[in-house]
């Protein structure tokens, strides 16, 4: 077998894994979810869920990936030969490709809105009604969203074609610092808006009366999905991590980066939402429907500044979408390269075309194919529900059960402590969380998707 590429440094590992985790979910999903469940109180629950449940699952995937040095299917074949665990590996090759098919459509929306910001569509010579209605008009059309979806997938494939070091690592080491700089710039602008103080108070003053069973389940689900768990991306990236790298330090660094970015994104969005007098729990349209309206409204007093912030914001969304999408495509590419001996170029183009084709159907489900339903859902919503509610939790619980109950404790200890040279005192706690608490947490997410 051809020698596998490796990430070149700890910073490269954290940048790539944090890039996989930091995506659209941090910028558009987290702000509106916390808006639905009371702000600051939800944040506290989310942090606890991230550290106590999501992070141990992250460790479990990392252990499998580095121990095997293979793709998700090859890892199960190597660590549990001749067993049914190989099907878990195949599942987590299919899941990220299905997610990417509709995720890239949303990524295409960020491409379109960035272009519109660059042409000052949201800040010059446009009425508030035109700006507010643009999103619905755009996604229901035929060719514009497909073109944007195509551009997005082309960018994703271009990075993956470069390989681990020259593609993924190089892009992540630039994109992640840029993401933090851009989002901090937006925070600075957002906090200067009249009325923004109410948004800040919403994020720092807990109202525990807003917490209920739905809120706890939502926080756990957000933590789980924010770190890209259960789809093999962490496992695949961990297979490129050198043996001397500290998995616990890299995992904590990734989780903290993801949490920090989510918090910063909340402080970028919520003050602006309150300044504009918009309901914070208005739902998934908060970014693509609400924020262009906010930029348009603010341009009346600060046209140049508002235009620059609009550009920076949608550039941030695009960069975040790309870092996550790249990791999803890499899962399938690693499988074809490792197990089928296919050249990276051929594997990348083949899978990129397949996901693009499926994405076209997802895009058209908002317009010409909106009348076609699968179990009462549009094609886009059906794939989203299938992956989010079923495939991701299933993949997550399989990984944690494999590490906690199938692998030997000695092998797990060897990986997490680098042969007993580090993290020895922490191992008992981490192992307990992986073996018991994490699987229970995933089952809670799974049941909440069914009944709440």
CATH, residue 260: 1.10.4160.10
pLDDT of residue 151: 97
Pull the structure tokens for residue 195: 């009325």
Query: 166 in a domain, yes or no?
Result: yes
Query: 314 in a domain, yes or no?
Result: yes
Could you tell me which of 327, 416, 334, 330 has the C-alpha nearest to residue 63? 416
Q: Where are the alpha helices (DSSP H) in 227-246?
A: 233-238
Query: 16 in a domain, yes or no?
Result: yes
Q: For residues 160 and 353, is the Cβ–Cβ distance under 8 A?
A: no
Largest CA distance in the chain: 68
Query: In terms of residue numbers, what domain contains 406?
Result: 10-451
pLDDT of residue 360: 97
Q: How many domains does the chain have?
A: 1
Q: The pTM is what?
A: 0.89
Quick: pLDDT tens for 406-440: 999 999 999 999 888 888 788 999 999 999 998 98
pLDDT of residue 179: 84
> Given pLDDT bands bounded at 50, 70 and 90, which one contains residue 75?
very high
Query: 383 in a domain, yes or no?
Result: yes
pLDDT average, residue stretch 312-319: 87
Query: 2 in a domain, yes or no?
Result: no
Higher pLDDT, 2 or 430: 430
Pull the structure tokens for residue 203: 């994020």
Quick: pLDDT tens for 253-279: 888 888 998 898 889 888 888 877 777
pLDDT of residue 128: 60
Q: For residues 13 and 5, is the Cβ–Cβ distance under 8 A?
A: no
Quick: pLDDT tens for 125-172: 666 666 767 888 888 999 999 999 999 999 999 999 999 888 888 888
DSSP H helix total and E strand total for the chain = 23, 0
Query: 1 in a domain, yes or no?
Result: no
Query: 437 in a domain, yes or no?
Result: yes
First to last CA, the chain: 47
pLDDT of residue 392: 83
Mean pLDDT, rounded, of the chain:
87
Query: 4 in a domain, yes or no?
Result: no
Distance CA 250, CA 3 (A): 23
Residue 244 Cα to chain centre, angstroms: 27
pLDDT of residue 125: 62
């Amino acid at each position: 077998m051809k020698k596998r590429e490796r990430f070149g440094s700890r910073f490269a590992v954290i940048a790539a894994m944090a890039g996989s985790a930091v995506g659209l979910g941090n910028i558009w999903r987290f702000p509106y979810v916390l808006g639905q469940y009371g702000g600051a109180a939800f944040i506290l629950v989310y942090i606890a869920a991230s550290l106590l449940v999501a992070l141990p699952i992250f460790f479990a995937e990392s252990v499998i990936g580095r121990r095997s040095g293979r793709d998700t299917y090859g890892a199960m074949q190597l660590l549990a030969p001749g067993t049914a665990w190989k099907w878990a590996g195949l599942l987590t090759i299919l899941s990220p490709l299905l997610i990417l098919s509709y995720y890239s459509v949303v990524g295409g929306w960020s491409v379109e809105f960035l272009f519109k910001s660059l042409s000052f569509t949201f800040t010059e010579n446009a009425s508030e009604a035109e700006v507010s209605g643009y999103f619905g008009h755009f996604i229901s059309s035929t060719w514009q969203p497909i073109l944007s979806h195509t551009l997005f997938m082309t960018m994703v494939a271009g990075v993956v074609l470069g390989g681990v070091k020259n593609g993924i690592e190089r892009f992540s080491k630039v994109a992640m610092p840029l993401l933090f700089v851009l989002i901090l710039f937006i925070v600075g602008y957002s906090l200067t808006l009249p009325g923004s103080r109410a948004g800040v108070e919403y994020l720092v003053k807990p109202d525990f009366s807003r917490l209920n069973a739905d809120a706890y389940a939502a926080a756990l689900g957000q933590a789980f999905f924010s770190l890209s768990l259960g789809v093999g991306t962490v496992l695949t990236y961990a297979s490129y991590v050198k043996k001397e790298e500290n998995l616990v330090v890299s995992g904590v660094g990734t989780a903290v980066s993801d949490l920090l970015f989510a918090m910063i994104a909340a402080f970028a969005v919520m003050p602006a939402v309150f300044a504009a007098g918009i309901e914070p729990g208005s739902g998934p349209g908060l970014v693509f429907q609400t924020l262009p309206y906010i930029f348009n409204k603010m341009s009346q007093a600060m046209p140049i500044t508002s235009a620059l912030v609009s550009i920076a914001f949608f550039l941030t969304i695009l960069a975040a979408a790309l870092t996550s999408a790249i990791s999803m495509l890499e899962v399938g590419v690693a499988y074809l390269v490792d197990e089928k001996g296919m050249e990276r170029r051929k594997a990348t183009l083949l899978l990129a075309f397949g996901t693009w084709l499926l994405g076209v159907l997802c895009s058209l489900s908002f317009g010409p194919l909106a009348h076609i339903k699968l179990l009462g859902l549009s094609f886009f919503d059906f794939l989203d529900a299938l992956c989010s509610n079923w495939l991701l939790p299933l993949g997550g619980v399989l990984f944690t059960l494999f590490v906690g109950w199938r692998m030997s404790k000695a092998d797990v200890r060897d990986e997490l402590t680098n042969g007993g040279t580090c993290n020895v005192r922490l191992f008992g706690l981490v192992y307990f969380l992986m073996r018991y608490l994490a699987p229970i947490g995933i089952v809670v997410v799974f049941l909440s998707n069914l009944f709440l």
